[in-house]
Structure 1
Amino acid sequence: MNGPPPASFPAFDVSKSDRTDALTVVGLTVTYRMRGRDREVLQDVSFRVRRGEAYGLVGESGCGKSTVAMAALRYLPRNGKVLAGKIIIAGQDVQKLDADALRTMRANAISMVYQDPGRALNPSLTIARQVTEAFEAAGVAREDAVQRTLDMLRRVRIAAPERVMDSYPHQLSGGMQQRVVIAMALASNPALLILDEPTTGLDATVEAEVLDLVAQLREELGTAVLFISHNLAVIGRMCERVGVLYAGKLVEEGATQDVFARPRHPYTVGLLRCLPTAGRSKDTERLDTIAGNLPLPGSAIHGCIYADRCRLADDRCRREAPPPYRVGAAHGDQMSRCHYHERATELPRAASQALPPQETLRENGPPALVLRAEQLSKTFHVSGTPLRAVDNVSIDLASGETLGLVGESGSGKTTLAKLMLGLLAPDPGSVLELDGTQLAARVTRRNDEQVKSLQIVFQNPDSALNRAHSVKRLIGRALSRLAALRGPAIDERLATLTAAVRLPERYLGSRTRQLSGGLKQRVAIARAFAGEPRVVVCDEPTSALDVSVQAAILNLLADLQRERGVSYVFISHDLHVVRYLSDRIAVLYLGRLLEIGPAAAVFDGPHHPYTEALLSSVPTLDAHDSKARIRLSGDLPSPAALPSGCVFHTRCPRKLGAICEQQDPPFHAADADHAGGPPVHRIRCHIPVDELRVLQSAIRDDDGKTTGDAPENATRDE
């Protein structure tokens, strides 16, 4: 790696910043006071967001993304302070504003939408009161604020806004809550809107609706957007430019299309390789990962801050901090803090993509069924009203197989999982078997072997792990319940188990509060595998994790399945993740199974119109992907008043007419040829499968452009 270094330039000419910028950040350095020391969490960060522009900020948790937002709002915690630099919003230097001017700026020039809308809304106040307060803070009279609230709720596509205004936050879905928070943020028509992970935890259709809403309102109002997210596909869809933060430094910046098409920093390359993008599967390749961890805040690093994790790094990188190199790209200048930015895409992979050998025995024919559910139903009774959460679902699960469960929030995925685990009792007539033996309805009535055979990994390990106990005790307690293990045998099994989940031995004495999100999830997985389970239910196990940690967890789950023959029921809103890990996919809607089949068949089609809508809502990194998104009209109906006929007909873009409203559709075989046995891909729809295949293949030609006419009642975004 010899030769002259490329020319370097500053990130941008600060002197050119003027009132045409909604946000200008110049040389921002922020410290937090921790254990008696000031530790830098942001170092010399500079970027600008022009008026009407959407700028994405990406990076792992702990990189400083939210600190940038808090500094812009001048809302850092008590132990935080801006050590150097300037923050200019709509021409005003934020650091120089007095209390009154700062309050005015927050009310009129800048707004923020947080990740969890439930925590941003006051549970004791109606939606009307909270949104009108936002207008009143912007100087609108009380009597006018009510009418403006009504208009704004309509503008953010809330149906029946009068009813919503009289509701409390807990009476709204997550997507509705997020729309209300966006309405509050836009009440002042701000120059800058900061979105901090606004779609994390939302299902694909709601996420797409929220993103469409932000894009439309940005176009109408000319509002600039600072979009903070670890979802690179969302950034690719929403933002013209993107900045990549690592350990408090901006290591790459440029037009989103340029950065994602040809990244010039090894960290950006690593993040993009971690993604389980379309067409990737656990059976064909392992996801790449980024080894190591972020440096601790305030660490003294003389060379490149990424050198310890970079597989291109040499002595020069460890000795000299790279300046911001700037090169021309297709859509403007691209900046990278890497001495070897021209070779970034040559970054070697963390490990071989070759898959480890499959140890599950399959020589004697197809794998045996482990779990079978027949006509599984669950009805809740709320205030005397029956709510059918799961309705006659029949599925099976083979040894060493992953069944993905997908559908919008409220479709019954988690309820179905709880029925399998015995945490809920199904309705009379439901059948649930493990290895051909009837399972008791309640987990308390199952024998020890059955309890060990079905385990769960939750979305949030913090809520599932006792913070007062060490990692060794958390896993050891699960092992101690095994009658065959005592004393030294437990320690030996513990060492084997922690090695299997790639949990370093040095963390065994730690409390969970001392661990990162990825390490906590490894502890939760180790505990679930302590009893040698036959089936593990994974309920959104990676949704709150960075893409780098997510890739490591998905590789781990795939490896454990190959090594131990365990079966998974995998629940997730991220359809790319489901596609990567699942052998088969079941699509649920209002507790009803609408489609089930091999993952490739479900994704490639033909698919049920509901599956088609879900898949069309998934954002991709490809900026040229012009597939039409199908908007589903209205919200999910209430389980207390299920539609007659096909449960999906009230929102279906391909509804035929009266038959859909009056008759429950049968399952049709979607396999091209299943003469040798029962169909493995089935679709529950009145439209014949061959007709669905023609309709869906006509939507796009090979170039991704629409070639056929959409049905009259389908709403599509081009």
Structure 2
Amino acid sequence: MNRPASARPALATFSAPRDDDALALVGLTVAYRVRGRDRDVLTDISLRIRRGEAYGLVGESGCGKSTVALAALRYLPRNGRVKAGRIAIAGDDVLALDADGLRMLRANAVSMVYQDPASALNPTLTIARQLSEAFEAAGADASTARARSHAMLERVRIADPGRVLASYPHQLSGGMQQRVVIAMALASNPALLILDEPTTGLDATVEAEVLDLIARLRAELGMAVLLISHDLAVIGRMCERVGVLYAGRLVEEGATRDVFERARHPYTVGLLRCLPTHGRNKHAGALDTIPGELPAPGASTPGCIYAPRCRLADARCREVAPPPHRMTSPHGEQMSRCHYHERAIELPFANLSESGDGLHGSGDQDRETEPRVVLRALDVSRTFGHGAKAVRALDAVSIELRAGETLGLVGESGSGKTTLARLLLGLNAPDAGGTVELDGQRLHAHVARRRGGERAALRVVFQHPDASLNRALPVKRLIARALVRRHDNAIDHDASDESRIAGLLEAVRVPARYLSARARQLSGGLKQRVAIAQAFAGEPRIVICDEPTSALDVSVQAAILNLLARLQRERGVSYLFISHDLDVVRYLADRIVVLYAGRIVETGPAGAVFDGPWHPYTETLLAARSPGPSSTSGTQRTPHGCPFSARCPRKLGALCDEVAPPFADAGDGHRILCHIPIDELRALQRAAADAQPAN
């Protein structure tokens, strides 16, 4: 990450905006009116973003990150209001603008990209119509807007702008939709671009491409960026400075390198420790977690707002609110609202004993020396469409899942991961010739034709929790419906269900105050936690986890990963774990399967797959986690040769296009589908690593 040599250290606290501020918040306090009383959701927030600077805002769900963005744009809901403070964007006093002035500001000076691109696009209008409207709002006439729309899609690296302009949103992938939304946001050449979780749900290579695109456009246009994200790795890669929000208060701020290398607030230290670090897995011990939960909105406390969850807190912390301590750090000024900021980095680790997490299993199931295969897919394929429009989403895929193990399934969007999961669950039927077996017995292709015990054995946690939650039902009833026991073919609700519900929700970090809330009233992260609790309520033997932590912040993600690991140890539960977060997969998985264009290109023990040698596609996925542009784009396959040959950076020539490669054995069950010999792959990848510049 390059920083201007002339960049000045930014002040952590200040009293007025400056001329070079793209955004300045001074003493901002925001309240929502709920049940007749104001509840403060932001308290005395002061931060500034210089023109051309990238600033990251991090914190758990509910800390107020998105409210900061909405307040800056004066997009607060009807029950929200700014109680105190100043907001300036590119020199304009936002709170003093009338309706016309505010409209002009939004049209010309600031743009926002939301977390879910599909929600920002009108499904009934073509991309051409929607993108043209963005240029017309900035003052262009219709013909000019059409021309600029085509040029802007080229600028955001869309290879076929004409096709995309003629498309409707549902005809584009998630990554393509996000590029279109970014193009719309840049139509006004804004001084400030606000990005609210722009890469959530994107796979590793698409995320790398989107982030590289944002960094390149920022450099070209000289715009400032406010990046809101729960992904600390994204913040570390993209931002010069970072602010940490907790319960509506800015508790730490400084240069990103200073904050990440030596955090000065226990909350920041806790967030960083929740990450599954490179090379660590579940066998090395549980992830550190942040105990307790966020205070309810509007909660007041005489001392430090974080004291109830802090392992450094003492009587002083509980009685006296800490002021903003400022100190000089290697890359600028750092601020921390902690009485003991000098020793925050020495925060004791959480008590990671496995007691008291709401799981009441016996843990005495049979353990085998050689775990048996509980779920098997044999040569399953899946074709969508017919004739010339037929698309082979899966091509002769075979996998085995053993008792008590986690099989990680990785690959880009469109590689066939979710299609395979749906075949295993019986939600889609495989093409003729493929079979799915449970405990060696063939399962019917359709879930409705499977026996009750077979359906109960397999449960699923979807990427999007709305797929499994009835939005009209309260949380308590959603969990209770899954908590059933069968006696003489009847469904009986045990008297202990109340405590079981409470235990499950505590285990997945859903506060008790949400028991009566309906699913539609919950945030995305809360809905995902409820969906996970619902999946485990019936005590399944196999759980298919399809991106179960992609919507969760790092503290809740750590708690969920610890929960999954403990369930597996105690009950022998098996997981098929699908995720685009390779560090999460490495932490939880025992074995890995890498899919590309519906084919398995690599499989083996997790350590062997992650440590190499790699299939060139696996190498691409792993490289996408590192700073720098992705070298590939699009998903293409040749009809006869290697499925990855069109994109392979190590392509041998016509051989890769014309001849299907064999599986080569790299030892210990590690197999790679590639024409390049294993020893040569290892040497090539070692040479590439040696050529990388030191960080």
TM-score between both structures, scaled by the size of structure 1: 0.90
1:446 matched residue in structure 2: 450
Q: Distance in 1 between matches of 2:525 and 2:15?
A: 38
Equivalent residues in 2 for 1:380-399, closer than 5 Å: 380-381=384-385, 385-399=389-403
1:14 lines up with 2:15 in the alignment: yes
- Asked if the contact 2:11/2:333 (under 8 Å) is kept, the reply is no
Cα deviation, residue 68, structure 1? 0.9
Structure 1 range deviating more: 326-335 or 494-503: 494-503
Query: What amino acid maps onto 2:602 in structure 1?
Result: E
2:441 matched residue in structure 1: 437
- Asked if the contact 2:486/2:492 (under 8 Å) is kept, the reply is no
Query: What amino acid maps onto 2:288 in structure 1?
Result: D
Equivalent residues in 2 for 1:72-471, closer than 5 Å: 72-352=72-352, 365-381=369-385, 385-471=389-475
- Asked if the contact 1:643/1:650 (under 8 Å) is kept, the reply is no
Q: Distance in 1 between matches of 2:105 and 2:408?
A: 47
Cα deviation, residue 461, structure 1? 3.0
Shift in CA distance, 517/561, structure 1 to aligned 2, threshold 3 Å: farther
Q: Distance in 2 between matches of 1:187 and 1:516?
A: 30
SS of structure 2 residue aligned to 1:456: strand
> How big is each residue's C-alpha offset from its partner over 1:70-100, in whole Å with a ceiling of 9 and x where there is no partner?
1111111111111111111111111111222
2:657 matched residue in structure 1: 661
Q: Percent identity?
A: 65
Query: What amino acid maps onto 1:659 in structure 2?
Result: L
Shift in CA distance, 696/463, structure 1 to aligned 2, threshold 3 Å: same
SS of structure 1 residue aligned to 2:495: helix
Of residues 577, 589, 601, the one that matches 1:594 is 601
Cα deviation, residue 283, structure 1? 0.9
Shift in CA distance, 532/690, structure 1 to aligned 2, threshold 3 Å: same
1:693 lines up with 2:682 in the alignment: yes
Cα deviation, residue 507, structure 1? 6.7
Q: Distance in 1 between matches of 2:640 and 2:266?
A: 55
Query: What amino acid maps onto 1:126 in structure 2?
Result: T
Shift in CA distance, 508/294, structure 1 to aligned 2, threshold 3 Å: closer
Query: What amino acid maps onto 2:686 in structure 1?
Result: S
2:46 matched residue in structure 1: 46
Q: Distance in 1 between matches of 2:491 and 2:663?
A: 54
Shift in CA distance, 687/351, structure 1 to aligned 2, threshold 3 Å: same
Q: Distance in 1 between matches of 2:167 and 2:526?
A: 40
Structure 1 range deviating more: 356-365 or 109-118: 356-365
Q: How many residues align?
A: 679
Cα deviation, residue 200, structure 1? 0.5
Q: Distance in 2 between matches of 1:498 and 1:557?
A: 18
- Asked if the contact 1:204/1:614 (under 8 Å) is kept, the reply is yes
Shift in CA distance, 595/553, structure 1 to aligned 2, threshold 3 Å: same
> How big is each residue's C-alpha offset from its partner over 1:340-359, in whole Å with a ceiling of 9 and x where there is no partner?
00111111222237999996
Of residues 672, 682, 694, the one that matches 1:683 is 672
Query: What amino acid maps onto 1:688 in structure 2?
Result: P
Cα deviation, residue 644, structure 1? 3.5
Shift in CA distance, 301/415, structure 1 to aligned 2, threshold 3 Å: same
- Asked if the contact 1:397/1:567 (under 8 Å) is kept, the reply is yes
Shift in CA distance, 21/643, structure 1 to aligned 2, threshold 3 Å: farther
1:539 matched residue in structure 2: 546
Q: Distance in 2 between matches of 1:159 and 1:202?
A: 19
2:6 matched residue in structure 1: none
Shift in CA distance, 183/470, structure 1 to aligned 2, threshold 3 Å: closer
Query: What amino acid maps onto 1:273 in structure 2?
Result: R
Cα RMSD after superposing both structures: 2.6
Shift in CA distance, 516/91, structure 1 to aligned 2, threshold 3 Å: closer
1:68 lines up with 2:99 in the alignment: no
1:560 lines up with 2:561 in the alignment: no
1:647 lines up with 2:643 in the alignment: yes
2:666 matched residue in structure 1: 670
- Asked if the contact 2:480/2:497 (under 8 Å) is kept, the reply is no
Query: What amino acid maps onto 1:455 in structure 2?
Result: R
Query: What amino acid maps onto 1:117 in structure 2?
Result: P
Q: Distance in 2 between matches of 1:564 and 1:166?
A: 52
SS of structure 2 residue aligned to 1:490: coil
- Asked if the contact 1:370/1:434 (under 8 Å) is kept, the reply is yes
Cα deviation, residue 202, structure 1? 0.7
> How big is each residue's C-alpha offset from its partner over 1:87-145, in whole Å with a ceiling of 9 and x where there is no partner?
11111111111222211111111111111111111222221222222122212232222
Cα deviation, residue 500, structure 1? 6.2
Structure 1 range deviating more: 69-78 or 334-343: 69-78
Q: Distance in 1 between matches of 2:513 and 2:26?
A: 39
Cα deviation, residue 523, structure 1? 4.1
Cα deviation, residue 463, structure 1? 3.5
Query: What amino acid maps onto 1:527 in structure 2?
Result: Q
Query: What amino acid maps onto 1:466 in structure 2?
Result: N
Q: Distance in 2 between matches of 1:361 and 1:353?
A: 21
Cα deviation, residue 13, structure 1? 3.2
- Asked if the contact 2:209/2:629 (under 8 Å) is kept, the reply is no
Shift in CA distance, 25/502, structure 1 to aligned 2, threshold 3 Å: closer
Shift in CA distance, 495/181, structure 1 to aligned 2, threshold 3 Å: same
Structure 1 range deviating more: 258-267 or 114-123: 114-123
Shift in CA distance, 687/450, structure 1 to aligned 2, threshold 3 Å: same
Cα deviation, residue 649, structure 1? 1.0
- Asked if the contact 1:501/1:525 (under 8 Å) is kept, the reply is no
- Asked if the contact 2:12/2:334 (under 8 Å) is kept, the reply is no
Query: What amino acid maps onto 1:563 in structure 2?
Result: E
Of residues 603, 615, 626, the one that matches 1:608 is 615
Shift in CA distance, 481/365, structure 1 to aligned 2, threshold 3 Å: closer
Query: What amino acid maps onto 1:687 in structure 2?
Result: I
Q: Distance in 2 between matches of 1:577 and 1:71?
A: 33
- Asked if the contact 2:485/2:493 (under 8 Å) is kept, the reply is no
Q: Distance in 2 between matches of 1:655 and 1:353?
A: 49
- Asked if the contact 1:30/1:41 (under 8 Å) is kept, the reply is yes
Shift in CA distance, 461/160, structure 1 to aligned 2, threshold 3 Å: closer
Q: Distance in 2 between matches of 1:336 and 1:466?
A: 42
Cα deviation, residue 493, structure 1? 6.4
2:3 matched residue in structure 1: none
1:713 matched residue in structure 2: none
- Asked if the contact 2:208/2:630 (under 8 Å) is kept, the reply is no
> How big is each residue's C-alpha offset from its partner over 1:245-279, in whole Å with a ceiling of 9 and x where there is no partner?
11111000000000000000011011111111211
1:483 matched residue in structure 2: 487
Shift in CA distance, 161/517, structure 1 to aligned 2, threshold 3 Å: closer
Shift in CA distance, 509/616, structure 1 to aligned 2, threshold 3 Å: closer
> How big is each residue's C-alpha offset from its partner over 1:394-436, in whole Å with a ceiling of 9 and x where there is no partner?
1101110000111111111011011111111111111221111
2:585 matched residue in structure 1: 578
Q: Distance in 1 between matches of 2:165 and 2:528?
A: 39
Cα deviation, residue 364, structure 1? 5.0
TM-score between both structures, scaled by the size of structure 2: 0.93
Shift in CA distance, 382/249, structure 1 to aligned 2, threshold 3 Å: farther
- Asked if the contact 1:512/1:520 (under 8 Å) is kept, the reply is no
Cα deviation, residue 368, structure 1? 1.0
1:636 matched residue in structure 2: 635
- Asked if the contact 1:616/1:629 (under 8 Å) is kept, the reply is no
Cα deviation, residue 487, structure 1? 8.3
Unaligned runs of 5+ in 1: 1-8, 620-625, 675-679, 707-717
- Asked if the contact 1:699/1:705 (under 8 Å) is kept, the reply is no
Shift in CA distance, 529/184, structure 1 to aligned 2, threshold 3 Å: closer
